[in-house]
Amino acid sequence: MKHIRKAVFPVAGLGTRMLPAAKTVAKEMLTVVDRPLIHYVVAEARAAGIEHFIFVTGRGKGAIEDYFDHHVELEETLKTKGKTGLLNDMLADLPKEGEISYVRQMNPHGLGHAVWCARDIVGDEPFAVILPDMIMDAEPGCTAQMLAAYEQTGGSNIIVVEPCPPGMAHQYGIVALEQQSGRLNKMTGMVEKPPAGTEPSNLFISGRYVLNPEIFAILADKERGAGNEIQLTDAMHKLMKTQAFHALEYDGTTYDCGDKLGWLRANVALALKRDDIKGVRAMIEGLLG
């Protein structure tokens, strides 16, 4: 069993659910309170011990690279004006040299294709996949919980799941379990958008995975699935025939920030938890009359 050192962040998506803003701002750079989405998921991964961050980018995503780089003029201005607190906070968030790699997904052929694009950087070792539009507010973080489950199962592939809203299972990818007891259970399969009443459990696949490198050989076939895209779910289903998969129902709250209502909810919820931002609750109560 190898240590998980690398995480893949698929950030080449067009963000159609967040149009028209996504026309000019990469959805991963939309701010939640005062930080872009990508900041939250990278911080979550770093807190879990991830050492190498792999971004699968596309056209119009240059702002992500700029965010994780020095801004010389801004840093000098903050230093000159004596705003050392802001400067130190900004510098603390910067990755060290060599911690981040970027690979280009030339065409948007699906999540499975995005993960496959990172194959040479990941190499022959297990890795995490973290969807950047899903903020998972938890302590310890969702990635840390996922890596602990990987260790607990002796190196199993891990899929993070959470309970479906009642009657909504037909809109999600649902996992089938050997038995449902506690938060970590061995999987026997997964079903994409099962007809109402046929779902094998009430748990849907969320935005975090640990996968073994054998997934790349399956993705290399570039078999098309739903939406005529190369689906990661299809590749995982094939890998499950030879390797163990476990579903982890993580302990925390998910905000789907690729959705307008989810993004607004994340802004409100995370602002309410900030000690340095005063008057948020009063502001909300005032808006509600």
What domains appear along the chain, each with residue ranges and CATH number? 6-287 (3.90.550.10)
- d(CA 287, CA 289) in angstroms, rounded, equals 5
The two three-digit tokens of residue 78, written as one number: 């903050």
pTM: 0.91
b/e sequence 121-152, b meaning 16+ C-beta within 10 Å: bbeeebbbbbbbbbbbbbeebbbbbbbebbee
- d(CA 45, CA 61) in angstroms, rounded, equals 20
- d(CA 250, CA 289) in angstroms, rounded, equals 36
Cβ(160)–Cβ(208) under 8 Å? Answer: yes
Residue 34 phi, psi dihedral angles, 5° rounding: -135, 20
Three-class DSSP category at 43: helix
Sequence-distant (≥ 6) Cβ neighbours of residue 210 within 8 angstroms: 4, 126, 127, 128, 129, 146, 147, 149, 150, 157, 158
DSSP 171: G
Give residue-wise pLDDT tens across range 70-100.
889 999 999 999 999 888 988 888 888 889 9
Give residue-wise pLDDT tens across range 3-42.
999 999 999 887 788 888 888 888 899 999 989 999 999 9
- d(CA 79, CA 75) in angstroms, rounded, equals 6
- As to burial, measured by CB atoms within 10 angstroms (0-12 exposed, 13-18 middle, 19+ buried), residue 279 is exposed
pLDDT of residue 163: 93
Q: What is the chain's mean pLDDT, rounded?
A: 91
244 versus 17: the higher-pLDDT residue is 244
Give residue-wise pLDDT tens across range 120-141.
999 999 999 999 999 999 999 9
